[in-house]
Amino acid sequence: MRALVALLTLLAAAGTPAAARDLPLAQPIDCTLGDTCFIQQYVDHDPGPGAQDFTCGPLSYDGHKGTDFALPSFAAMHAGVDVLAAAPGTVLGLRDEMPDTGWSPELEGRDCGNGLVLDHGDGWQTQYCHLKRGSLTVQKGQRVAMGAVLGQVGYSGRTQFPHLHLSVRQGDRVVDPFDPDGQITCGTPDTDVLWTDPPAYSPGGLLNAGFADRVPDYDAIKEGTAHAEALPRDPDALVIWGYAFGAKAGDVMRMRILGPDGREVFAHDADIADPKAQLFRAAGTRVRRGLMPGTYQGEVTLIRDDIAFDRMETTLRVD
C-alpha cells in the first residue's frame, strides 16, 4: 500500500519535542504511518455533545480520550504488528485473556480489552488498549524502556476495527499528545507537542482498492481478501471498489477502469452523504461479450471540496 496523501503536516518544521517537565513520546506501534497503518481518531476537543480533533476536523467521536493507531485490515493484524512502549515506565497492571471478537454487551466494563498501563512518574501514565489475546510480553511491576515490545495490535474490547488505542494522562487530566497544554487553535502550531517525532495529520484517505466480479462483502474488504488479482474472460461483472477512512459528508469517491488498450471501460462517482469513520464503495459494469485479455488498470480517487486528496491504483489480469 502506498503512502496516504496528507493535506496537513503537523509541526513538520516549527514543532518541538515536549519540554523537560512533560512526557516525550515515541510512536507506540511498529508500522509506517500512511502506509501500513494510519491514525483513525484523535482526542475529542469538543466540550459539548459533538466531536472534533485538534485541527477542528472530524477524526474523533464524543468523549474519545486517546489516539487510535489503526491497521488497514484484519490480515495485517493476523500477521502481527507490535505495540511499543511510548516512553520508559513501569507496568502498573495488565489484562491478556479477552478474545479478539470486537465489542459485545457482555464485555461491558472492560472497554479497553487486553492492554496495560505504564507509570512514568510525576503523575504521567500511558494506557494501551485492544491488544491481541495472549500477546502481552510484560508483567506487572516490570520496568520497560521506550520502544520495548509490549504485545501486538488486536481486536479485543470496545472496538470495531483492529487498532491500538493510546491514552495519555497526568493525574486525572486527559492529555492530547498533539496539544498537551490545551491551547492549540484548530491545528495552529502554537504549542509544543509530546511526540519526539510528530506524526503527520491526514484528514482521511484510502486504505485499499481492488477488483472483483461482484460487489464484495464488507467483511472481506476489512479482512483484506476482497481483491481479485485475476479473473476469467467471462465473469458476470467487472467491479472496482475502494476502502476509505475519515470520510466527510459531501466527499466523492471516483472509480475508473482502463482496459488493456488504455481506453476507459467504466467510470463512476460515488457520493458520500454522511460522515463515516470507515466505509467502502463499489461500482462496475455487467460483462455481456467477454473481457479483452490483458491487464486492467483501476483508479480510485477521494475528492473533497472539488480537490482530489488521495488516490490509489490497482491492477487486474484477465486470462
Convert the pLDDT of each residue in 221-266 to its tens digit. Answer: 999 999 999 999 999 999 999 999 999 999 999 999 999 999 999 9
Give the whole-angstrom CA distance, residue 206 versus residue 251.
Answer: 12
Q: What number is the average pLDDT over the span 277-303?
A: 97
What pLDDT does 27 receive?
98
Instruction: Judge whether 96 and 126 are in contact, CB under 8 Å.
Output: no
Q: What number is the average pLDDT over the span 119-137?
A: 98
Residue 152 banded pLDDT, cuts 50, 70, 90: very high
Boundaries of every domain in the chain: 1-202, 205-318
Element holding 218 (H helix, E strand): helix 218-223
Q: What number is the average pLDDT over the span 20-40?
A: 91
Residue 17 banded pLDDT, cuts 50, 70, 90: very low
Give the whole-angstrom CA distance, residue 143 versus residue 202.
Answer: 34
Query: How far, in Å, are 58, 215, 314 from residue 225 at the CA level?
Result: 29, 13, 14
Query: How far, in Å, are 5, 54, 179 from residue 14 at the CA level?
Result: 20, 17, 14
Give the whole-angstrom CA distance, residue 45 versus residue 111.
Answer: 21
pLDDT per position as a tens digit, 194-232 = 999 999 999 999 999 999 999 999 999 999 999 999 999
Strand-pair category, 89-95 with 143-144: antiparallel
One-letter amino acid for residue 124 of the chain: W
Element holding 70 (H helix, E strand): strand 67-70
Q: What number is the average pLDDT over the span 274-284?
A: 96
Nearest to 43 by CA among 69, 68, 10, 66: 66
pLDDT per position as a tens digit, 186-195 = 877 656 899 9
Grid cell, residue 255, equals 472509480
Farthest CA pair distance, the chain: 71
Grid cell, residue 293, equals 485479455
Q: Which residue has the higher pLDDT, 5 or 297?
A: 297
DSSP class of 216 = P
User: Residues 6 or more apart from 193 whose CB is under 8 A from it?
Assistant: 10, 11, 15, 16, 17, 18, 177, 178, 179, 180
Strand-pair category, 294-304 with 252-258: antiparallel
Give the whole-angstrom CA distance, residue 63 versus residue 44.
Answer: 6
What pLDDT does 14 receive?
35
What pLDDT does 235 receive?
97
Give the whole-angstrom CA distance, residue 87 versus residue 11.
Answer: 21
Q: What number is the average pLDDT over the span 25-33?
A: 98
| CATH code for the domain defined by 205-318 | 2.60.40.2550
Q: What number is the average pLDDT over the span 150-170?
A: 97
What pLDDT does 242 receive?
98
Fold of 1-202: Glucose Permease (Domain IIA) (2.70.70)
User: Residues 6 or more apart from 76 whose CB is under 8 A from it?
Assistant: 36, 37, 162, 224
